[in-house]
């Protein structure tokens, strides 16, 4: 029986690479995104486009219903969609903080709620939540982004324990620096909100690094890890993958807070 996977944020970057990778592995893949026009290339590779606005509950219900009506099952949900909005906590409007939680946390949780009954009935399934190495430690000007990723880490750990008796695995993917649109969006938002005033110098430095293509792994390395998580008989609970992920997460485990602060400060000159 062909297994069915739903990948969110499939219009570019990690999501697009993952959709292709799972399709090559034999899954029937639905690539979900708000910008459906950008799914045309994936459709040519046999991936089924799935319109999905993560801020619209009716749209999320309709998307899951469409997959179940057409396939009768969902075996893998890859919660990849999300974004990083940067700026000093002092400067970021709470409306933007709430929107980031809505997309990065609550939409992820809602999609999980919608697929869990089917997976429980099947007594099998994988929910793969893409967090970040930034769910293990925090850096300046990414406070709200890091808050969402810390939240997904904790949420995923609880879900894993709740769903284990039903044969459903919950796996966390913790990418490091990846060459996607994410860095440019984060840098632009940091400059917009905190590019003037007391934080200007540091924001200019962090913005140049976030927006640089010189640092980062190709999205394919994350897609490969997600494929392993989707197909392994007994997947690991976490996969740290991509530039900087493993050494920085290891450093967080052993270094005191002040030492981590100093390390990141040196990185900003």
Provide the 10 A C-beta neighbour count for residue 71. 16
* Residues in CB range of 181: below 8 A, 6 or more apart: 12, 13
Given CA atoms 47, 49, 50, 53 in this order, what sign does their dihedral have?
positive
Overall residue count recorded for the chain in this entry = 269
Is 145 an active-site residue?
yes
Separation of alpha carbons 151 and 154, rounded Å: 5
- Among residues 30, 83, 86, 145, the one annotated as catalytic is 145
* Angle between helical axes of 143-163 and 94-101 (0-180°, round to 10): 30
Cα–Cα dist 163/246, whole Å: 27
CB atoms within 10 A of CB 65: 11
Neighbours of 163 (CB within 10 A): 18
Neighbours of 113 (CB within 10 A): 11
| Inter-CA distances, 22 with 35, 65, 214, 226, Å | 21, 21, 28, 9
By annotation, the residues acting in catalysis are 145
């Amino acid at each position: 029986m062909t297994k069915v996977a739903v990948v969110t944020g499939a219009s570019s970057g990690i999501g697009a690479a993952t959709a292709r990778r799972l399709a090559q592995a034999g899954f029937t893949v639905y690539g979900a995104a708000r910008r459906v026009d950008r799914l045309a290339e994936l459709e040519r590779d046999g991936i089924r486009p799935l319109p999905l606005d993560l801020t619209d509950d009716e749209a999320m219900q309709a998307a899951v219903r469409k997959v179940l009506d057409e396939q009768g099952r969902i075996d893998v949900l890859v919660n990849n969609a999300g974004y990083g909005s940067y700026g000093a906590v002092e400067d970021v409007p709470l409306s933007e903080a709430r929107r980031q939680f809505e997309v990065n946390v609550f939409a992820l949780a809602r999609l999980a709620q919608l697929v869990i009954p089917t997976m429980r009935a099947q007594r099998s399934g994988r929910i793969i939540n893409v967090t970040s190495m930034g769910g293990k430690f925090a850096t300046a000007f990414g406070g709200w982004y890091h808050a969402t990723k810390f939240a997904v880490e904790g949420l995923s750990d609880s879900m894993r324990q709740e769903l284990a008796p039903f044969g459903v695995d919950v796996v966390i993917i913790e990418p490091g620096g990846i060459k996607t649109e994410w860095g440019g969006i984060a840098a632009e938002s940091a400059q917009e909100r905190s590019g003037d005033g007391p934080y200007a110098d540091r924001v200019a430095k962090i913005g140049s690094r976030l927006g640089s293509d010189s640092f980062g792994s190709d999205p394919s390395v994350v897609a490969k890890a997600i494929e392993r998580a989707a197909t392994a008989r007994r997947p690991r609970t976490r996969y740290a993958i991509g530039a900087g992920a493993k050494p920085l997460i290891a450093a967080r485990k052993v270094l005191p807070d002040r030492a981590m602060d100093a390390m990141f400060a040196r990185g900003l000159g």
